[in-house]
Amino acid sequence: MNDAPSSRDLSGSMTVGQAYATVVSLINAGNLSEAQRICEDIKRVRPAQPDVHNLLGGIAFKMGNPEEAAIHFSRVVELQGDNHEARMNLAKMLRDLQRWEEAARQFDHLANVLDNNAGVLMDCARAHFKSGHYKEALTTYERALPVHPSADIVQTGMAEIFLKMGEIKKAEELYGAVLRRTPDFEPALINLAVVRDIQGRIDDALALQERAISVNPDNADAHVHHASLLLARERFAEGWAEYIWRFHQTQTTTLHDRFGLPHWDGEPLQGRHVLIWTEQGPGDEILISSMVPDVLAQGARCTLVSTERLTPLFKRSFPAANIISREQVLEGSAKLIEADFQASFSHLGCRLRPQIAAFPTNRGYLKSDPRLTNELRARYQAGTGRPLIGISWHSANLEAESEKSITLESWANLLRILGPRFVSLQYGNHTQEIAAAIATTGTEIVVDPTVDPLKDMDRFAAQVAAMDLVVSVSNTTVHVAGALGRPVWTLVPSSVGRVWYWFLDRTDSPWYPSMRLFRQDRNAGWNPILSEVAEALNQWL
């Protein structure tokens, strides 16, 4: 390579070699900004030198910028393909950024050149699993099994894949094998409880979660799974208390440690100021917001922190509350919020939803834009006066997408029902699927490209409010419809996609009085439910 580190072409008196030595000293002394500045100076004159990109990657990582670190490590690998250390760092950055497809490619390469490296094989299998490459993940776990020091860890990973693939029996057998060998292995206890839940053996599932907690009382994952089981069984007092453990999960995204305020524990609220922050996906945010009217009714001032795309809808729906975007809080651009208490989903639920009787019976608490709602309704009806039925068939839930989604092709018999106009409320790009369904059924499906719930929930709310009925899988659409008080039929899966807040066996939803639940039989697919919905739709019409 021509750009040898000893060349004298840096500004100032240092050679490139001296600059490298200075950078290392600065890194060791913790002066990362100055080290980065000198590295950038080196890069300007030596842009194709792997060493400088390697240093910049390490500095970026130490400064908490994994995206930038990944760029530099990727450049090292591009320039020096046999630099396994840099490729390992790149793979780990991609893993931590949850860029699973890219991480899997890098770990695959390392797994082939670093034969029998158990850690690489496990990371590789996990990346394949997270990117939906289940067969590749299983193959990699099988390679790891004879070289990994813990067969329990490897087989638990394999069982998780079988669980995701719906091969419940194989998952059950592997978890059983692990627990026969190591009766107190926590991951297997927790995941076998999930299997028992899917099988409808709720008491067994609860017992397994309680055993996992007894083995390790500080296992946050066990507590959160336990909470979901308790809440699903309507054991609210215990469930809400356990649900607080999500604050301690490693991947938590809650704002529990952001404000330094005491949590509301049922104190009188008259004249007090309560800060409520939402969490997780938009469905959960809408559920949490259902308790804002309760707080206001107790005479409190209320500030609600939600994601940006929900703030316009919340501002219209709760004019007496102060609405702030979560993004502003995380960026630090929101003013310091002075309040008496903060409240999470758990704290609100514990005090305001301690039992089913405490759920309000009002049909809707969110308010759509009335002018836009009427405009969209008129446009969709196109002068026909026919009822509008909004449909949504896909969930983008990262953990249960396949369990909660139904192919639009399966809706064919329902779409052939004469009378209504069907309107797609489905978020994301499903153009080909919709075109195929129209060609198969001969039924028009109205698609409005001006509505994108992934960007503008306020306009989406107006679209949903324009419907006479919404029929959807368990996704954001049903929460919006229920919160608006529109008639909505929700198709609830029987497996891991069944979320605790639909409870067990109910055909109604205490959260949303306008909702009817159609529950999948755990021994059948979606076709029986879709036939039931079609029959109910004929009666409704």
Question: Is the distance from CB of 413 to CB of 534 less than 8 angstroms?
Answer: yes
For residue 374, which amino acid is it?
A: N
Which of 239-243, 254-258, 429-433 ranks highest by mean pLDDT? 239-243
Q: What is the CA radius of gyration of the chain?
A: 27
Tokens of 171: 């998952």
User: What average pLDDT is seen over the chain?
Assistant: 90
CA 39, 40, 41, 45 dihedral sign is positive
Residue with tokens 């993004």: 327
Question: What average pLDDT does the segment 518-528 reach?
Answer: 85
pLDDT at 373 over 90: yes
Q: What is the DSSP string of 295-319?
A: HHHTT-EEEEEE-GGGHHHHHHH-T
What band does 390 get if pLDDT is binned at 50, 70 and 90?
very high
Q: Is 7 helix (H, G, I), strand (E, B) or coil?
A: coil
pLDDT at 345 over 80: yes
pLDDT the model gives residue 2: 40
Residue with tokens 């709310």: 461
pLDDT the model gives residue 10: 60
Cα angle 336, 338, 343 (rounded to 5 degrees) comes to 105
**Percentage of the chain modeled with pLDDT above 70:** 95
Question: For residue range 35-49, what is the model confidence (pLDDT) as tens digits?
Answer: 888 888 888 888 888
Residue that wins the pLDDT comparison between 372 and 504: 372
Question: For residue range 73-97, what is the model confidence (pLDDT) as tens digits?
Answer: 999 999 998 999 999 999 999 999 9
What band does 123 get if pLDDT is binned at 50, 70 and 90?
very high
pTM for the full predicted model: 0.83
Question: Is the distance from CB of 32 to CB of 15 less than 8 angstroms?
Answer: no
Q: Which segment of 42-56, 280-294, 474-488 scores lowest on mean pLDDT?
A: 42-56
Phi, psi for residue 507 in degrees, rounded to 5: -105, 0
Question: What average pLDDT does the segment 291-313 reach?
Answer: 95
pLDDT at 7 over 50: no
pLDDT at 397 over 80: no
DSSP character at residue 508? B
pLDDT at 66 over 70: yes
What band does 525 get if pLDDT is binned at 50, 70 and 90?
confident
What band does 1 get if pLDDT is binned at 50, 70 and 90?
very low
Nearest Cα to Cα of residue 194 among 539, 509, 495, 510: 495
pLDDT the model gives residue 19: 84
527: left (phi over 0), alpha (psi -120 to 50) or beta: alpha
pLDDT at 337 over 90: no
pLDDT the model gives residue 488: 98
pLDDT the model gives residue 6: 38
